[in-house]
Amino acid sequence: MSVKKKDSAPAPVDYARAEVNAKLTAKQKIRFLAEMLRIRRFEQTALKYYNQGKMGGFLHLYIGQEAVAVGTVLLMGKNDHVITAYRDHGHALAVGMSMNECMAELLGKATGCSRGKGGSMHFFAPDKNYWGGHGIVAGQTPLGLGLAYGLKYKGLKGCCLCYMGDGAVNQGVYHESLNLAALWKLPVIYIIENNQYSMGTSLERSSAMRSRLAERADGYGIAWDIADGEDLYEVRAKTWNAMQRAYEDSLPMVLEIDTYRYYGHSVADANAKKYRSADEIERYKTNHDPIRLWRKRLIDEGVITDAKADELDESIKEEAAAAAQFALDSEDPAPETIFQDVYWEVDNATEAGQTGRHFFGD
Amino acid sequence: MALITYRKALNEALAEEIIRDENVVIIGEEVARYNGAYKVTEGLWERFGDKRVVDAPISEAGFIGMGIGASMLGVRPVLELMFWSFAYVAWDQIINNAGQVRYMSGGLINCPIVIRGPANGGTNVGATHSHTPENAIANTPGLKVVCPATAYDAKGLMKAAIRDNDPVCVMENTFLYGETWEVPEEEYVIPLGVADIKREGTDISLIAHGRAVITALKAAEILEAEYNIHAEVLDLRSIRPLDEEAILATVRKTHRVVLVDENKPFCGVSAQIAATIQEKAFDDLDAPVQRVCSLDAPAIYSPALEPLQLPTPDRVVKKALDIC
């Protein structure tokens, strides 16, 4: 595809009319609002307990980026898979993980999705085709490729949505993955969630490019596109196109979605307000908030009323509060679980799991 | 029993497992049309075709990470590293992804992959190509690592590794590829975590893995012929899981130990074995545990000097005589 030039920008497209959006029911549209609100209220609740010292480690909040996860993940069919980096709460909730298991994981409880072994950056739900939650920048990019390889190897029509931040494009393994994806025609869609900052370093200070990060795909002969992450309809339409390409032609694609995070790289990011201005953050919150915009759109379309939207929001706040209570009330993992979930063969007490010593030091 | 090379034994193991399980796929640099840089995969592409034997570009992190991802959907990739020394460019994928994904997912995921290739010094290729990272792999709970010393073990361990539902690293040896041993015609599998006494003895135990086993066997011959010392040679075969009982049993039998290890001494596999022996068989020892490792400097190129850097039978004999 060609690079968009400012002086020849096409007239705005109404993505509500795109094929994947035109037949959406009111119920579906309201569900998108609900799913975005679930992410936001979950994280706001998590933040409260993080600040109270109830959680360890890092907490990378997704707030501001909700339309990306909801706009993409909810397009998945049974042979579509998803994998992401450490800012993973949004995708986890969007695939249908419960707030309870996610909140309990944040508190390191036995009832957490990873039994308290993964924490914020490492949520998993293979039964929902959700393969994490990965802590090392771009480390998940070849895994996403492998999920696509697995689909193709087994002759299944599906794709892998592999998410990454704008900072991840500068890791070598992403480029190795792009090369392999193109070389072997693997149905992986790399979704760059461009929130403009790789930790505290702005896009301009970290990435060389002609016009867009996704454009680097040109070097591998991979198609690419960009999407406005504050417009749920556009995110859905662009992602759907990429998915069709993966299904029909088993081809990869790079989709760069412009978005913005309101909080720091993580909550522990003390410089959150030094590398960007408070005005910038406020501008995004006021004019570009994906939830606010979607809610307004649904009201304008007559799909929901203000009162109903408030009611929905309240019920989700209650769900988040209940999840926090569930997590607080849950038991810590038992010390003996430290040695569980290391080796499959040991966990399953197979012959292979019982020959030789697997653990040392006592 | 047929006399076949270590290389051929590995080749047979791979072929048999490709036939046995439709999910087994071999991926690596030059494994298909080139027949393998060290010819371990010779003829497999011709026999099994593009789907089962796949030439990868020079992207170890990319194709190993890809193999890990594919294994999550039930594919069982056998990933060849032309040298284990090249693993370092894929370290994040091997250690963080293959090694940790089961734990971090609370046991929801397992990663049935094999990563294999030669890991040895001594071939005059300089320090970058001469690493023996079995100690580093064994230091990562979640990974398994085996170092076969004979064709028989190479075949049996490779088949066990492919059938294992956890990530297994198989470290081979370029010196051994062309050596021959007797290997049975009928199928067999050697479980991981079971050591093997390669030579019975009563006076001293030489404990080793990989090619150091061959060095230890040569030393044992010299000790017998020239000094009437009957050395027992225990081949660990598998580093993690480790056959601790076999180690303690030979120590209790001979009361003297020399550990022979092509790792560097600092935090090498033998350091762990020594710690285990002093912890659990201290009263059975009649002398301090001795070690013969690679000399503690990067692998030197000089063909004149490099043979001195690896454990040699003479160095083993000398250490043995120190405590006998």
Domains of chain A plus CATH, in order, are 24-335 (3.40.50.970)
For the segment A249-263, the average pLDDT, to the nearest whole number, is 96
pLDDT at A264: 86
Inspect the interface and report whether the beta carbons of A139 and B243 lie closer than 8 Å.
no
Q: Does the beta carbon of B99 lie under 8 angstroms from any beta carbon of chain A?
A: no
User: Is A357 in Cβ contact with B96 (below 8 Å)?
Assistant: no
Specify the CATH number for the domain of residue B40. Answer: 3.40.50.970
**For residues A116-154, b (16+ Cβ closer than 10 Å) or e, as one string?**
bbbbbbbbbbeebbbbbbbbbbbbbbbbbbbbbbbbbbe
Mutate to test the interface with A, among B48, B51, B73, B277 (most CBs of A within 10 A): B73
Residue B160 falls inside a structural domain: yes
- The minimal CB distance from B66 to the residues A139, A149, A340 is found for A149
Among A60, A120, A106, A69, CA closest to A90: A69
Which member of B69, B103, B192 has the closest CB to residue A145? B69
Of A113, A143, A357, the CB nearest to B68: A143
For B153, list phi and psi in degrees, rounded to 5.
-70, -40
Contacts of B92 (CB under 8 A, 6+ apart): A136, A139, A173, B61
Are B212 and B165 contained in the same domain? no
C-beta atoms of A118 and B105 within 8 A: yes
Last residue of a domain, one of B151, B183, B215: B183
Residues 6+ apart with CB under 8 A from A219: none
Does the pLDDT at position A4 exceed 80? no
Q: For residue A268, what pLDDT is reported?
A: 80
- DSSP codes, B47-90: HH-TTTEEE--S-HHHHHHHHHHHHTTT-EEEEEPSSGGGGGGG
Query: Which residues in chain B have their CB less than 8 angstroms from residue A134's CB?
Result: 97
* Same domain flag for B152 and B215: no
- Full-model pTM: 0.96
d(CA B177, CA B263) in angstroms, rounded, equals: 19
Query: Over the Cα atoms of chain A, what is R_g?
Result: 21
Angstrom distance (rounded) from CA A345 to CA A352: 6
Closest CA to B258 of B270, B243, B266: B270
* B 162-201 residues with CB < 8 A to A: 163-166, 191-194
* Residue B250: inside a domain: yes
- Give the separation between CA A166 and CA A202, rounded to whole angstroms: 10
| CB nearest to A357's CB, from B66, B106, B244 | B244
Q: How far is B237 from chain A (nearest CA, A)?
A: 11
CA B41 – CA B54 distance, rounded (Å): 11
Residue A5 pLDDT greater than 60, yes or no = no
Please tell me if residue B66 touches chain A, with a CB cutoff of 8 Å.
yes
In this structure, are B163 and B205 located in the same domain?
no
Query: Mind listing the pLDDT tens digit for each residue in A307-335?
Result: 999 999 999 999 999 999 999 999 999 99
Say whether B230 is catalytic: no
Inter-chain contact A143–B65, Cβ cutoff 8 Å?
yes
Q: What is the mean pLDDT of residues A164-185?
A: 98
**Is residue B283 in a domain?**
yes
Q: Which residue of A has its CA nearest to B237?
A: A356
C-beta neighbour count of B281 within 10 angstroms = 18
- Can you list the positions of beta strands (E) in B180-295? 180-183, 196-199, 204-208, 231-235, 238-240, 257-260, 290-292
Please name the residue of chain B whose CA is at the shortest distance from the CA of residue A117.
B104
Provide the pLDDT for residue A106: 98
> Both B213 and B135 in a single domain?
no
**Is B107–A113 a contact, with Cβ atoms under 8 angstroms apart?**
no
| Co-location of B254 and B134 in the same domain | no
Tokens coding A356: 């030789």
Q: How far apart are CA A291 and CA A197, in angstroms?
A: 21
CB atoms within 10 A of CB B16: 17
* Band of pLDDT at residue A7, cut at 50, 70 and 90: low
Whether B106 sits inside 8 A of A347 (CB atoms) is no
Q: Using alpha carbons only, what angle is made at residue B235 by residues B111 and B300, rounded to the nearest 5 degrees? A: 85
- Domain match, B229 and B275 both: yes
B163 and B223 belong to one structural domain: no
CB contact under 8 A, B65 and A183: no
Across the interface, of B70, B107, B108, the residue whose CB is closest to A146 is B70
- For residue A136, the number of C-alpha atoms closer than 13 Å in the C-beta half-sphere is 20
Q: Measured between alpha carbons, how far is B39 from B80 in angstroms, rounded to an integer?
A: 12
Model confidence at A265, pLDDT cuts 50, 70, 90, reads confident
Rounded to the nearest angstrom, the minimum Cα separation between B84 and chain A is 18
From B62's Cα to the closest Cα of chain A, the distance in A is 5
Per-residue H/E/C for A262-288 = CCCCCCCCCCCCCCCCHHHHHHHHHHC
Picking from B159, B48, B56, B151, the residue whose alpha carbon sits closest to that of residue B114 is B159
Q: Does B62 touch chain A (CB under 8 A)?
A: yes
DSSP state of A125: B
Which of B12, B17, B80, B129 does the annotation list as catalytic? B129
CATH number at residue B225: 3.40.50.920
Contact A340 B164 (CB under 8 A): no
Structural domain of B48: 2-183
Q: Do B115 and B38 share a structural domain?
A: yes
CA separation for the pair B139, B144 (Å, rounded): 10
Are B257 and B167 in a shared domain?
Answer: no
* A-B contacts (CB, under 8 Å): 192
B169 and B222 together in one domain: no
Name the more confident of A273 and A70: A70
Span A38-56, mean pLDDT?
A: 96
**Facing A118 at nearest CB: one of B56, B63, B104:** B104
Kindly state the greatest CA–CA separation across chain B: 58
Contact call for residues B29 and B58 (beta carbons, < 8 A): yes
Tell me: pLDDT of A1 over 60: no
Which domain-ending residue is among B154, B183, B212?
B183
Quote the ipTM score: 0.96
Domain stops at, among B148, B183, B218: B183
Contact A173 B25 (CB under 8 A): no
Phi and psi (nearest 5°) for A163? -90, 150
Compare all CA atoms of chain A with the CA of B92 and give the residue at the minimum distance.
A139
Answer yes or no: is pLDDT of A293 > 70.
yes
Q: Which residues contact B211 (CB under 8 A, 6 or more apart)?
A: B120, B149, B173, B175, B176, B262
With CB atoms and an 8 Å threshold, state whether A143 touches B69.
Answer: yes
Structural domain includes residue B191 = no
Output the CA angle B240-B245-B249, nearest 5 degrees. 135
Confidence at residue A137, expressed as pLDDT on a 0 to 100 scale = 96
Beta carbons of A146 and B66 less than 8 angstroms apart: yes
Residues B81 and B128 in one domain: yes
- From the list A117, A343, A345, the residue facing B106 with the nearest CB is A117
Residues of chain B with pLDDT under 70: none
pLDDT of residue B261: 98
Number of domain units in chain B = 2
State the number of CA atoms in the 13 A half-sphere of A125 facing the CB.
Answer: 19
* Catalytic residue list contains B129: yes
Q: What is the pLDDT of residue A361?
A: 87
In a domain, B57, yes or no: yes
Cis peptide upstream of residue B241 (ω within 30 degrees of 0): yes
Q: d(Cα A159, Cα A190) in Å, to the nearest integer?
A: 11
Domain assignment present for residue B188? The answer is: no
**What is the pLDDT, as a whole number, of residue A2?**
43
**Quick one: closest CA in B to A111, which residue?**
B106
Are B247 and B273 within one domain? yes
What single letter denotes the amino acid at residue B323?
I
Interface of B with A in 208-267 (CB under 8 A): 238, 240-244
Secondary structure of residue A133 in the 3-state scheme: strand
- Exactly one of B12, B17, B29, B60 is catalytic; name it: B60
**A131, B62: Cβ pair inside 8 Å?**
no
Which residues, other chains included, contact B186 with Cβ-Cβ below 8 Å and sequence gap of 6+?
Answer: none
